[in-house]
Structure 1
Amino acid sequence: MRRLFCILISCFCLLMPLLAQSNKLIKELESKRGTLQKQISESETLLMTTKKDVGSQLNGLAALTGQIEERKRYILTINNDVESIERELTSLERQLTRLQRDLKDKKQKYDSSVQYLYKNRSIEEKLMFIFSAKSLAQTYRRLRYVREYATYQRLQGEEVLKKQEQVNRKKAELQQVKAAKEGLLKEREAEKAKLEAQEKEKKTLVASLQKKQKGLQNELSKKRREANQLNARIDRLIAEEIEKARKRAEEEARREREAAAREAAARKKANDKKEEPATSTATTTAAERTKTKVAPLETYSMSRDDRELSGNFVNNRGKLPMPITGPYIITSHYGQYSVEGLRNVKLDNKGIDIQGKAGAQARAIFDGKVAAVFQLNGLFNILVRHGNYISVYCNLSSASVKQGDNVTTKQSLGQIFSDGSDNGRTVLHFQLRREKEKLNPEPWLNR
């Protein structure tokens, strides 16, 4: 009995890693899905808007569209998780079939050994078998055979117990994964129902806006004027910042040339003491002067520190934090695109618009230096330089940094403006530039 207990304990220890493997997969999928689920649940509160006038309805449509996109992304994640679990189920079923086949084989071998022992069960028969040998050597071999067969039979019994325990564990693991799959399928159906309701709400909102075509075009024209005014100011400040960076690089290059010239003068002085021909010294000095003129001023655009910061920024592409605190919805994407369902409604966004909760803060996406803080239409806008990359944070009611400040990743830059006339709608307009080049920020952010 004690031996059987030890065997069962050892089987359990061997099988724990197998069971833990599926548990780990399920937990990893649940963790990734949980983050998205929390984001969607929290962002649903951002959809509460009165939707009375055209501006509010247009903003509400943008928020609803962003929420629908988030839910579609979540459903896609569920689909991917279902596929992963189905692959795990297929693998577990193959393993179970193999274990059951091995168990059957071991049981057959064990039955054969038990039947043989049953036929030769008495001590007298074993002794007769041993002492009926014709020589001492044969007697020794028969004695060893009897002992080894008894050991073999015992081991066969232990193997059967081990394999049976493996089969039981694999069945339990299979049931656990099947339950996880069933839960996912139910969750997917629930999310699809919510998505269908939101798309129906969107159609109703679009139909309402279609009846207000004139007011809609006026609202869009107003938004374009404000955007053009903001982008012109940003472009001008970025051009100034690029010029400052070029001058910093030139100054660094000038200091390096002066250091090189001093070093060349020191070498010349040392050479003069060695009584070398004057012509040789003159030739060497001329050669050194030529070396100092290899890189003209125009070739310098970034200082050494800026180049290092730029490299670090690029290495974090796709890992940068969202520039807003708390739950959020991306309500307007980068580039030119039409609004689904509305005729002649085209948007051109130089960045992205991110809606958050009232009180949300704008935060730096990476280490850098505040290049500019300016006000436009009573709201603050901040530019942060990260080498030759510049992140832009607009529509702030207050700024907690000033020009020249060094900032760190996720540091608060100021509070985002909440529009009291539009149910406290809180939207951060965020841009990303590589010098003058406008970039799509979404591939750089970790969502």
Structure 2
Amino acid sequence: MIRFVVILFSIFIFSAAVTAQAQASKEQQELEKERQQLRRELEETQEQLNKNKKTTKEIISQKALIERKLSLQEKVIDNISQDINFLDNTIYKSQRDINKMQLLLDTLKQDYAKSMVYSYKNRNNSDFLNFIFSASSFNDAIKRITYLKSYRNYREMQGQNILRTQELLRNRINDLSGTKKKKSTVLQVQAKEANVLQSQQEEKDQIVKQLKAQGKELNNVVAAKKKQMAKVSNAITAAIRRAVEEAKRASAAKATEERKNREAELKAAKNSSDNNDNTASTKTIAKVPKKTVIAPVNKQSELLNTDAAVTLNENFKINQGKLPWPVDKGYVLLHYGPNKVGDVTIVNDGLSIGCDIGAPVKVIFGGEVVLINNYDDVELVVVKHGGYFTAYSNLTGVNLNKGEIVQIGQVIGKVGANLDGVGEVKLNITKEKGDLNPEQWLRRR
């Protein structure tokens, strides 16, 4: 029984080692795939930065691109660190399996040596014959012969197990050696990427230094941006206010129409009651108003005055964190909230995305166009989604009409150049009572 357990244990060690190795390989492949994607994004960001430096002296966008490069580079290093952790774990498991196999091999060799010593001591044929003929019955003799055959087979199986375990041990040692070499290579890559990160940090520090040196010129740029942001914000606020007023008027008109219908029904019921007895007419008049009473759809907002508006509002809400970006490629130029630019702070009520001039801009969720506005030679589009609004500013080539229904992913215009000559689209997400952070609503890129 003990020998059988030893054999099963050797098989279990081999199966576990193969399974663990396959799983680790799959995880490392996923890490490598993620790393390749990060490198592609780094290359795209570097191309945008090079293009920016050639076409404009706009330092704010350069700072945003450098910050994006730093973020991507840090993700690459974190990815490599995870790979190193997997390799460390693989090395630990391989060493553990080697120790177990070595122990198993020693046990098998000791057991085999004992059986060989026993066989040597009982090598005389007369001993085997005496063992068989000393049986008390014929059946007992048959059992003894069977036992001798089984013992001989067991010794052969012992030898095979020793050879198999030695082969497994050699393979595991080779795997361990290969993993250690791979870890050494990955560590070198990590050191190289850390140097790249350091150089990028120095580049960012240089740009920040230039921003601080711009002084009055930077203040003028920031003042112009704030003025433009105010125009967009006021236009969005006005569009929301008009949408609320239109919803109120629609609700009032609907209530007036329902009241007229009830009055007409009551009048018809009263005329009908003149041809019946008093009891019957009283029951009829009492029942008619109850059938025509319609409860309001939603009391929280005038904008949610229909079932369709409520459904659209809920669908937009449950997609928080899953909405697509308005452009296929781009980088965050200014985040939502306060942004430090040199010694100046710009408070952004939306998300400013830098990208190529002329790139298509897509609506991030289906809804109704409630505003198309021109300002500073560019355009603004506001779309209503129940009680939510999305606004896309700094557009060109808008070909829409107010009241038009747009679908998610539909192109509504192109990216225009901002005041500094850089491609930019600004996304605002608002509710009736305030701004929301678009980065919390868009999916991670």
Fold-level similarity (TM above 0.5): yes
Amino acid in structure 1 at the alignment position of 2:426: H
Residue 318 of structure 1 corresponds to 321
| Cα distance in 2 for residues equivalent to 1:262 and 1:22 | 77
Q: Is the 8 A contact 1:261 1:292 kept in 2?
A: no
1:171 Cα deviation (Å)?
4.0
Superposed, 1:266-281 pairs within 5 Å as 278=280, 281=283
Counterpart for residue 390 of structure 2: 391
- The aligned counterpart of 1:438 is 435
Q: Secondary structure of the residue that 2:310 maps to in structure 1? A: helix
**Pairwise CA distance, 1:354:** 1.7
Distance 1:250 1:121, change over 3 A: farther
Alpha-carbon deviation of 1:309?
Answer: 3.4
Paired residues of 1:66 and 1:331 also in contact (CA < 8 A): no
TM-score (norm 2): 0.77
Alpha-carbon distance, 1:281 to partner: 3.5
After superposition, the Cα gap between the structure-2 partners of 1:357 and 1:296, relative to the gap in structure 1 and judged at 3 Å, is closer
Distance 1:11 1:71, change over 3 A: closer
* Matching residue's letter, 1:360: A
Greater CA drift, 165-174 or 410-419:
165-174
Provide the rounded CA distance (Å) in 1 between the counterparts of 2:251 and 2:183. Answer: 59
The one-letter code of the counterpart of 1:446 is: R
- Summarize the alignment of residues 18-417 of structure 1 with structure 2, pairs less than 5 Å apart: 18-48=20-50, 49-50=52-53, 56-117=58-119, 119-120=121-122, 126-175=128-177, 177-244=179-246, 278=280, 281=283, 285=287, 288=290, 292=293, 295=296, 298-299=299-300, 301-302=303-304, 303-326=306-329, 328-339=330-341, 342-343=342-343, 345-399=344-398, 401-417=400-416
Tell me which amino acid in the other structure corresponds to 2:42: I
Matching residue's letter, 2:333: T
Instruction: Answer whether contact 2:359 2:414 (CA < 8 A) is retained.
Output: yes
TM-superposed CA distance for 1:13, in Å, is 8.7
Is 91-100 or 239-248 further displaced after alignment?
Answer: 239-248
Amino acid of the residue matched to residue 430 of structure 2?
Answer: R
Higher Cα Rg, which structure: 2
The runs of 5 or more residues in structure 1 that have no matched partner are 1-9, 265-274
Measured after TM superposition, the shift of residue 180 of structure 1 is: 4.7
Q: Give the C-alpha shift of residue 330 in structure 1.
A: 1.4
CA distance in 2, matches of 1:142, 1:259: 107
**Deviation of residue 145 (structure 1)?**
1.9
Deviates more, 1:20-29 or 1:197-206: 197-206
> Which whole-Å CA distance do the structure 2 matches of 1:146 and 1:176 have between them?
45
CA, structure 1 residues 283+138, in 2 after alignment: closer, same or farther (shift >3 Å)?
Answer: farther
The alpha-carbon distance between structure 1 residues 276 and 242, as it changes in their structure 2 partners (threshold 3 A), is same
Most deviating of 403-412 and 211-220: 403-412
Partner of 1:5: none
Deviations along 1:309-355, one digit per CA (max 9) or x if unpaired, are: 343334433333332123x321211112433xx33x11101122222
TM-superposition CA deviations, 1:193-217 (whole Å, max 9, x none): 2222222223223333333312221
- Output the amino acid matched with 1:426: G
Give secondary structure in 2 for the equivalent of 1:416: strand
C-alpha change, 1:297 and 1:101, in structure 2 (3 Å) is closer
CA distance in structure 2 between the partners assigned to 1:255 and 1:73 by the alignment: 61
SS in 2 for 1:390: strand
- The farther-off stretch of 67-76 and 346-355 is 67-76
CA separation in 2, counterparts of 1:287 and 1:437?
A: 40
In angstroms, what is the RMSD of aligned CA positions? 4.2
Query: Any idea what SS the aligned residue of 2:397 has?
Result: coil
Give structure 2 stretches of 5+ with no counterpart. 1-11, 267-276
- The offset of 1:236, in angstroms, is 1.5
User: Aligned partners of 2:85 and 2:279: how far apart in 1?
Assistant: 83
Contact 1:238 1:436 in 2 (8 A): no
Residue 73 (structure 1) shift: 3.6
Whether contact under 8 Å (2:35, 2:79) holds in the other structure is yes
Structure 1 residues 277, 221: closer, same or farther in 2, change over 3 A?
Answer: same
Query: What is the TM-score with the length of structure 1 in the denominator?
Result: 0.77
Q: How many residues align?
A: 420
CA distance in 2, matches of 1:131, 1:180: 64
Match of 2:270 in 1: none
Check 1:165–1:203 CA distance in 2 against 1; reply closer, same or farther (3 A cut): same
